[in-house]
Amino acid sequence: MARFISPTLVGLIAAAALFSGTARAGDCPGNPDALGTSRTLVVDPTQHPRIGTMQYPETLPLADHEVVLTFDDGPLTKHTKPILAMLDAQCVKATFFVVGKMAQAYPEMLREVQAAGHTIGTHTLSHPLRMNRMSIDQNMAEIDGGIAAATAVLGDPSKVAPFLRIPGLLRSTEVEDYLQSKGIMTWSADFPADDWHRISPARVAQLAISRLEAKGRGVLLLHDIQQRTQTALPTILRELKARGYRVVHVVPATPDRPKTPTQPWQWHLHPVEPVIAAGNGMRFSFAPQTIRGTSKQNAMAAIPAIPQKTARKGPMLSPIWGTAALAGDDEIMSVVLSPLPKTFRFVEPSGAAMRNLAGKSGAPAE
Ligand SMILES: [Zn+2]
């Protein structure tokens, strides 16, 4: 029967396969106004072993107004399940950095997250907050143990992405080198929402959106073990949609799934602030050196939650900002012209709304 399939049909089938699992905004069953997932980004960890401008020169090759959602520390059914439902209702795909012992404690929840099409990365076996001071043997046991635990629950190594986030972002060169030697991509982030602190859900949403707006794109760090994150998520998703952001789903390259073609400069977060009008007011350019320095300082100042001692360990922000990291005029114009709502207010949901959002969850958990 194959001889009756036209080349056009083959092309359509190939296109459908290429985009399967990628829900576009407006193409979300039962939710025509969904945020959606605009595209899938396939990355090769061996070529870009460390990403996230909170700690590294490189970040994911995102376009302006693209965002990657990440959730750490789960699975914890009480919060992961409603968070998963909210993401699925919006056809949003995220990356979950799971703790091995949490996966062992809540294996069915992990299987649900993976079956829903989200990417599963790992976050060590028991979440030690001293990897920068542990022996390499201890670190290897934590890293390998976390991967083994998630793999055992999911039953297939290919269901665990070679993506790892170091607990507390307490990096060390030794740990990073080990991860790189195993072909694992170390994920920092571009901005947190401080959702592990005792702040309100409204504040979590405000920090998530305002920090994203400040950078224009990037990897957002959240935690799916926190009530406040669960409560804040509908606001975050709604604001992403209202402000024209597009969610990108990130998956690792495999022999059957080639990496998304990118240019080296795309792996750098362009500064948003240093747009300088020149001459006739119609042309813009970046000031490469001084402004990049300022941008980095601003980035660090925006994350007071990360202990300063973290910044002092090793070459946290090595000076490898690409000299070729200049954007085209179109991109610069899009930054200049992108609307920044000035009247936005974050409010706590009403009691009834919170009960609806939070399901049967009780008091905020710590
Ligand atoms: Zn963590």
Q: Which two tokens stand for residue 269?
A: 């977060």
**Distance from Cα 72 to the centre of ligand 1, integer Å:** 5
CB atoms within 10 A of CB 303: 20
Q: Are 248 and 40 in contact (CB under 8 A)?
A: yes
Confidence bin at 26 (pLDDT 50/70/90): low
- Kindly write down the DSSP assignment for every residue of 267-311, as one continuous string: GSPPPSS--EEETTTTEEE--HHHHHHHHHHHHHHT-TTS-HHHH
pLDDT of 230 strictly over 60: yes
Domain ranges (residues) in the chain: 9-361
Q: What is the pLDDT of residue 294?
A: 37
Per-residue pLDDT at 6 exceeds 60: no
Determine the distance separating the centroid of ligand 1 and the alpha carbon of 168, expressed in angstroms. 6
**Taking Cα atoms as reference points, which of 346, 348, 341 lies closest to residue 244?**
341
**For every residue of 316-339, which 3-state class applies, written as one string?**
CCCCCCCCCCCCCHHHHHHHHHCC
Between the CA of 221 and the centroid of ligand 1 the distance, in Å, is 10
Q: Answer yes or no: pTM beyond 0.85.
A: no
Averaged pLDDT score across all residues of the chain: 77
Cα of 71 from ligand 1 centre, angstroms: 9
CA of 88 to the centre of ligand 1 (A): 23
Query: Sorting pLDDT into bands at 50, 70 and 90, what band is 110?
Result: very high
Query: First-to-last CA distance in the chain?
Result: 60
The tens digit of pLDDT for each residue in 56-102 reads 999 999 999 999 999 999 999 999 999 999 999 999 999 999 999 99
Give the pLDDT of residue 186: 98
Say yes or no to pLDDT of 190 above 90. Answer: yes
- Calculate how far, in angstroms, residue 146's C-alpha sits from the geometric centre of ligand 1: 12
Mean pLDDT within 257-272? 86
Question: Residue 258: is its pLDDT beyond 70?
Answer: yes
Tokens encoding 35: 């945020």
Residue, of 28 and 350, whose pLDDT is higher = 28
**pLDDT of 200 higher than 90:** yes
Which of 64-68, 197-201, 320-324 comes out lowest in average pLDDT? 320-324
State the distance from the centre of ligand 1 to the C-alpha of 179, rounded, in angstroms: 17
Could you tell me if residue 127 is left (phi over 0), alpha (psi between -120 and 50 degrees) or otherwise beta? left
Residue 97 Cα to ligand 1 midpoint, Å, equals 8
Alpha-carbon dihedral 164, 62, 47, 142, rounded to 10 degrees: 0
Distance 251 CA to ligand 1 centre (A): 20
Please give the average per-residue pLDDT across 167-183, as a whole number.
Answer: 98
**What is the 216 CA–ligand 1 centroid distance (Å)?**
25
75 CA from centroid of ligand 1 (Å): 11
Does 246 score more than 60 pLDDT?
Answer: yes
Give me ligand 1 centre to Cα 129, in Å: 8
Distance (Å) from CA 234 to ligand 1 centroid: 22
| 297 CA → ligand 1 middle, Å | 24
pLDDT in the model for residue 291: 31
Residues linked to residue 223 through DSSP beta bridges, in sequence order? 72
Element spanning 15, H or E: helix 7-19
For residue 42, the model assigns a pLDDT of 98
CB-based contacts of 106, cutoff 8 Å, min separation 6: 74, 75, 76, 77, 80
281 CA to centre of ligand 1 in angstroms: 46
How sure is the predictor about 270, in pLDDT bands with cuts at 50, 70 and 90? confident
CATH number of 9-361: 3.20.20.370
Q: Ligand 1 mean position to 122 CA, how many Å?
A: 10
Task: Give the residue ranges of DSSP H helices in 164-242.
Answer: 173-181, 201-215, 227-242
CA of 85 to the centre of ligand 1 (A): 22
What does the H/E/C string look like for 245-261? CEEEEEEECECCECCCC
**Residue 27 pLDDT class (50, 70, 90 cuts):** confident
Gap from CA of 344 to ligand 1 centroid (Å): 30
pLDDT tens string 129-163? 999 999 999 999 999 999 999 999 999 999 999 99
- Ranking 186-190, 253-257, 270-274 by mean pLDDT, the lowest is 270-274
pLDDT of residue 211 exceeding 90, the answer is: yes
Let me know the angle formed at the C-alpha of 281 by 277 and 286, rounded to the nearest 5 degrees.
25
Average pLDDT over residues 44-50: 97
Q: How far is the CA of 70 from the centre of ligand 1 (A)?
A: 11
Q: What is the pLDDT of residue 208?
A: 98
Position 181 confidence tier, pLDDT thresholds 50, 70, 90: very high
Per mean pLDDT, which range of 10-19, 33-42, 249-258, 325-334 is the poorest?
325-334
